[in-house]
Amino acid sequence: MSLARHAAQLGTVGRLREGLMENLRKMGIQIADVTRLITRLVAPERSVLVGIDGGTGAGKTTFAHRFAEAIKETTPPVSIVHIDNFCRPSAERQKDYAVVSDLDWKRLRDQVLIPLQSGEAARFQLYDWPADRLKDWVTIDVGGVTIVDGVTATRNELSGYYDLRIWFSCPRDIRVSRLLGRGDTSAAEIKHWIPSEDRYIASHAPEETAHLVIDSTADMMSTKNGNGWFTKRWSPPSTA
């Protein structure tokens, strides 16, 4: 939604790491189970693609970075691609504020998912939020694991490209409360963005096609008595 929000999410990762790992240990599955599955899929000539989807404020980015660290312990390299970097510049939008439909899923597909799945390097431009334009180029070589993090990551048109799909389930009102509490997203942005997420979720039903569904309703740091994030569903994809 904004560069400030994106930067704040990344800055939070280090502070939450220790508590988050304790929380993950209390989920319905061990995070090691998922990393072992990823490890079995890795091959020199292909990239393993992981899509992490869910509404804004659900905890996707924090999880994505910790998940990447867990994978790196046995299977480097790991890259993270943030959906925010695929937002269209304001000149190409239909409204004053960015909405979900402004995330260019076709560019993500053509520049990242198709090349990596086909055994070729991905090369794409990052959207520069302050400059409001596409700017720096990024290259991801074939091999290892690439995690795509952000709402619409596993939309119907992209779902089939992923080896593993993860959905973060969290009620709308709680996500809005978290956004307001963080203070890096204006009420006006939230007013326009959240309804567009509602439409995406209703239209694409990404939770139904996810292999792993994580309920992040509770505070991610609330680990007392086993409360906090927990697994709603784990249906491992075939590794045959």
Residue ranges of the chain with per-residue pLDDT less than 50: 2-20, 223-227
pLDDT of amino acid 183: 79
Domain range summary for the chain, segments of one domain joined by +: 3-234
CATH class of domain segment(s) 3-234: alpha beta
- Which backbone phi and psi does 184 adopt, to 5 degrees? -105, 5
> How many Cα neighbours within 13 Å face the side chain of 55?
28
Q: Give per-residue pLDDT as tens, 147-165.
A: 999 999 999 999 999 999 9
**With 0-12 CB in 10 A as exposed, 13-18 as middle and 19+ as buried, what is 154?**
buried
pLDDT of amino acid 2: 46
